[in-house]
Structure 1
């Protein structure tokens, strides 16, 4: 994407500084641009690890829970995601694995088009919050999550999985947070259902820090599970 020709979302800036900020190289700058090398509401870096994520489920796909059980809604066995599609945004992308950097921050995708799955969190469809992160733009190119903030409650998100199954999620809310107030517990904390979080940059671009000031976070939960 050439930022000089393509539309820029509200609150984002054109020009030299914006291009520099979204270069997206795998450094501290890139980590901050998606929003993980920042401080959370307790003033601590949000450094998720396996203990912060809910355990992966081993239940059969589309197993409906019964009243009184500790989980709600359909669940799927664990299987790594391979592709994500958001029909209302006409967005689709391959999914790559993201781990942790040496400083404890989450890695970020190294292209505008790829979306990353955080491997320390559950797989999409399993019990707990699966986390997918992508760029709003990167090295002057429009990112897959460029329009993420425009998603509406009730919109669908489809995740294809390595075992040939498909997890279909429904958006429950879309929020924007300052990067120094990242909601770590809400994003990574355990849930009683199969959840999905999509994360990208948002808000105004800060010339002084060369970063976007906010994060856009989409919250969704599993609505349907299709077996292979």
Structure 2
């Protein structure tokens, strides 16, 4: 995201970029199109007015099986989703990700504030959306690079169906998501409803930039999106 701009004589690396364009996030009663760019000279699409966020539905805390010998080793029921709890750490063994979270909010201009650009190992989560494990679509985004080099989601596009993503929450529950697919979409024609629609289950979307780097716009042309669903949960 905040890497040095490629020179005119040197082609941009397909793995690194200077800015990340966040696609639309489905929040509450409608969709909110949010974009981000760390470079003031980079083109940023006009912001879209924020919509009201509906309160999260009440969810009964998952019960431990009566036959369980110990709460710390027990799997939790995920059929109805989990209670709301902020995420603390994301781990993706397949691509060596082990990073803390920072909450992301919508700024005054209607743009989603990005994670700090001076931290290469930090993931952001949209704090006004579902938390990981809640019913709904939880949105997690990360830089591909920072000023110091490759960042947390550099290898996100290499994930495959069946790979697992673990997120430890503030309440001590570890949620495990299984990847359904990894797809690349043009930022100019992003399928908002498909990516962020709430189907009544706990979903996870991991997002970063990808595709061809546009030196004129100082941005990648595409977004990489990982689609995943909640497969398991246990107490740490």
**What is the TM-score with the length of structure 1 in the denominator?**
0.75
Instruction: Indicate whether 1:91 and 2:125 are aligned.
Output: no
Structure number with bigger Rg: 2
Alignment correspondent of 1:13 = 12
* Higher mean C-alpha deviation, range 188-197 or range 159-168: 188-197
Change (3 A) 1:87 1:109: same
Unaligned runs of 5+ in 1: 5-11, 65-72
In structure 2, C-alpha distance between the alignment counterparts of 1:189 and 1:147, rounded to whole Å: 25
Residues 31-46 of structure 1: matches in 2 within 5 Å?
A: 38=45, 45=48
CA shift in 2, pair 1:163/1:87, >3 Å? same
CA–CA distance in structure 2, aligned partners of residues 130 and 149 of structure 1: 18
Equivalent residue, structure 1, for 2:164: 156
When the two structures are aligned, how many residues end up with a matched partner? 196
Which residue of structure 2 aligns with residue 102 of structure 1? 108
Runs of 4+ in structure 1 deviating by more than 4 angstroms, as ranges, are 44-49
Instruction: Output the CA distance in 2 between the equivalents of 1:56 and 1:148.
Output: 31
Please report how far the alpha carbon of residue 88 of structure 1 lies from its aligned counterpart in structure 2 after TM superposition: 0.6
Compute the displacement of 1:91 (Å).
1.0
Structure 1 equivalent of residue 59 of structure 2: 58
Q: Does 1:211 align with 2:210?
A: no
Q: Is contact 2:80–2:201 with CA below 8 Å preserved after alignment?
A: yes
In 2, distance between residues paired with 1:174 and 1:82? 24
Contact kept in structure 1, 2:12 and 2:215, CA below 8 Å: no
Distance change in 2, residues 1:86/1:170 (3 Å): same
2:36–2:112 Cα contact (<8 Å) kept: no
Which secondary structure state, in structure 2, belongs to the residue aligned with residue 83 of structure 1?
A: strand
Residue 81 of structure 1: how far off its partner (Å): 0.1
Q: Offset of 1:102 from its aligned partner?
A: 1.1
Q: CA deviation at 1:189?
A: 2.3
1:146 and 2:172 are equivalent in the alignment: no
Quickly say closer, same or farther: Cα 1:45–1:31, change in 2 above 3 A: farther
Q: Would the alpha carbon gap of residues 191 and 31 (structure 1) be closer, same or farther in structure 2, given more than 3 Å must change?
A: farther
Secondary structure of the residue that 2:81 maps to in structure 1?
A: coil
- Please give the secondary structure, in 2, of the residue aligned with 1:152: coil
What secondary structure is seen at the aligned counterpart in 1 of 2:38? helix
Change (3 A) 1:172 1:165: same
Equivalent residues of 1:49, 1:120 under 8 A apart: no
TM-score by length of 2: 0.73
Q: Does 1:185 align with 2:193?
A: yes
